[in-house]
């Protein structure tokens, strides 16, 4: 646990330093500088996106440090099962065991029609098949599925 705390403190320090750097606002655009201005705006948008990622990462690190302090570090926040030591060594801020992390990443997938339902959990009406990850369709199970 001491190694995890050390890694988390180092990551927190790195992220705080990264977030302390100001993002430069675009300057006044003059005639003929549209390409330069567009490049600068692109770079600013990229920097803002990276800043958002760093802010999210810092929140994960802070939460992991709080779990260490509370004595909950190493247990999955969803199911309570132990998080694999190898996973914590690679990602000391990991809050989910690998099975719950897979379920979470699968639930973020969206259907092409824009609905928020997971492709993995979608099933035709009346389909009672079940698996640990939810029902799965084969090519012939789906309504209007193209055949090879």
Q: What confidence tens digit (pLDDT) does each residue in 93-144 have?
A: 999 999 999 999 887 654 444 444 433 444 444 444 443 444 444 444 444 4
Tally of domains within the chain: 1
The residue range of the domain holding 96 is 2-21+40-100
The answer to whether position 63 is within a domain reads yes
The answer to whether position 144 is within a domain reads no
The answer to whether position 132 is within a domain reads no
Residue 12 belongs to what H/E stretch? Answer: helix 2-20
Q: What CATH code is carried by the domain that includes residue 59?
A: 1.20.120.910
pLDDT band at 26 (very low <50, low <70, confident <90, very high): low
CA angle 139, 142, 147 (to 5 degrees): 45
How high is the pLDDT of residue 65?
97
Strand ranges, E, within 38-121: none
How confident is the model over 69-78, as pLDDT tens digits? 999 999 999 9
The answer to whether position 74 is within a domain reads yes
What's this model's pTM, rounded to 2 decimal places? 0.63
Is the separation of the CB atoms in 120 and 136 below 8 Å?
Answer: yes
């Amino acid at each position: 646990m001491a190694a995890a705390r050390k890694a988390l403190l180092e990551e927190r320090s790195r992220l705080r330093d990264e977030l302390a750097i100001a993002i430069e606002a675009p300057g006044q655009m003059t005639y003929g500088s549209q390409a330069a201005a567009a490049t600068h705006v692109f770079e600013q948008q990229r920097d803002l996106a990276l800043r958002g990622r760093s802010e999210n990462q810092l929140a994960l690190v802070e939460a992991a440090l709080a779990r260490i302090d509370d004595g909950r570090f190493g247990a999955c926040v969803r199911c309570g099962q132990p998080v694999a030591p190898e996973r914590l060594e690679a990602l000391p801020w990991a809050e989910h065991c690998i099975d719950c992390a897979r379920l979470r990443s699968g639930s973020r997938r969206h259907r092409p029609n824009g609905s928020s339902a997971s492709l993995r959990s979608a099933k035709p009406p009346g389909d009672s098949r079940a698996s640990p990850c939810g029902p799965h369709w084969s090519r012939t199970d789906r309504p209007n599925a193209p055949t090879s």
